Amino acid sequence: MDEALAGIASAAPELDREPRFPREAFEALAVAGALVATIGAARAGVPVAGEWAMLRRVAAADASVARILDGHLNAVERLEIVASPGLRDRELAAVEDHGRLLGVWGADPRGGEGEPARLHESGTGHVLRGVKTFCSGAGGVDAAMVMVGSDDGTAPALVLLDCGEEVEVDRDWYRAAGLRASESHRVVFHDAPVTAILGGPGELGRDPWFSRDAMRTAATWAGMVDAAAEAALDALVGAGRADDPLARLAVGRIEAAGGTVDAWLDRAARVADAAIRPSAAAPTLGALLDGDHTLAAPPCADPRSTSIAMRAEIDRAAKAILETAAAACGSHQFVTAGRLDRARRDLETFLLQHRLDPLLARLGGERLAR
């Protein structure tokens, strides 16, 4: 993994300048075992901390690569728990044996971007017709889980399909300053054959899995925060400002905010584990006396509220770190497209995709009602 991450980090500046699907990165990650990190994990109740730490390291090396890997791991976990045994085993074997890469695509187009993707009957089964946007990994992933709405208000279906010639990638749509190699394009489905409809209506939003997906994504935010903090430290030391009182104050603030990120990831990991492995909720007194000091999940914590709160607080800490780092380092990092500039563009682009204030307000309303 260290070798893979070093290669990913060294290639990141070029991919940012000339975006393309980071195929070499995923070849290296496949060899390192990253693509299979969630295979069998949910069924066996494996703690998420190791997987999240790996994803965080990938995000620190290249946020675009981590954005695609995050979707792949979400898809693999969802296959584990909702696909029929035959389909599950077939798909996961392809991931293990051939490095098959999966995506999860959920965003619908806005006005002028095309008609939203819908399921249609064909002579041989269901096909998908229409548009999705923000399709990370488009043109590089082998298959995708797609959230498909309906015109009658039924909760969205979750379908799996191969990304063949019926899946058109519009590379002119995504023009963001950040996550430039995440290939998060607009996709047009031209009667793309559906491999399977997974679960029931609203499947993608089913908890605790949807909240675990959201928590996993926050681990990528943490890696981007790590990249920004490290870039700021390197810039300040490189400029000979290690003894500058204002630089020291800035680094102290960055370290403090980074501790908030770490604490929320730790708390969320315990909640995520307890949601599918009840024995993780609280160690017995006997286990504690025997030296098992594993932290229990916080009392009364549920995955949904935890995923909202932890993302909101990591978002706030991340923005504080970016603001402090920019003020301390000045314009040089940004006019020369240094690592801090890339980390800021990547993180701000990603955070803007998650509208957390309405979710946080709803969480506060539920607390007031209780």
* CA triple 319-325-326, angle to 5 deg: 90
pTM of the model: 0.92
What does the DSSP 8-state code read for residue 281? S
**Alpha-carbon distance 202 to 102, whole Å?**
20
* Percent residues over pLDDT 70 in the chain: 94
- What are the E-state strand segments in 106-156? 118-122, 125-135, 143-148
pLDDT, position 152: 87
8 A C-beta contact, residue 151 and residue 219: no
- Work out the pLDDT band at 328, boundaries 50, 70, 90: very high
**Lowest-confidence segment of 99-113, 195-209, 282-296 by average pLDDT:** 282-296
CATH superfamily of 2-101: Acyl-CoA dehydrogenase/oxidase, N-terminal domain (1.10.540.10)
Q: How far apart are CA 366 and CA 370, in angstroms?
A: 6
Q: Could you tell me the pLDDT band of residue 284, with boundaries at 50, 70 and 90?
A: very low
Fold category of 207-369 in CATH: Butyryl-CoA Dehydrogenase, subunit A; domain 3 (1.20.140)
Which CATH class, in words, describes the domain spanning 105-201?
Answer: mainly beta
**CA 333/CA 236 separation, integer angstroms:** 10
3-state secondary structure of 193: strand
Q: Kindly tell me if the per-residue pLDDT of 294 is higher than 70.
A: no
Average pLDDT, whole number, for the chain? Answer: 92
Q: Encode pLDDT of 28-57 as tens digits.
A: 999 999 999 999 998 898 999 999 999 999
Q: Does the pLDDT at position 4 exceed 90?
A: yes
pLDDT tens across 238-281, in order? 999 999 999 999 999 999 999 999 999 999 999 999 998 865 54
Could you tell me the residue ranges of all domains in the chain? Answer: 2-101, 105-201, 207-369
Please name every residue paired with 168 in a beta bridge, in sequence order, or none if there are none. Answer: 188
Contact 37, 57 (CB under 8 A): no
* Amino acid, res. 350: F
Alpha-carbon gap, residue 166 to 127, rounded angstroms: 10
Which pLDDT band, with edges at 50, 70 and 90, does 291 fall under?
A: low
pLDDT at 234 over 60: yes
What is the rounded distance in angstroms from the CA atom of residue 333 to the CA atom of residue 331? 6
At residue 180, the pLDDT reads 96
pLDDT (average), residues 66-82: 96
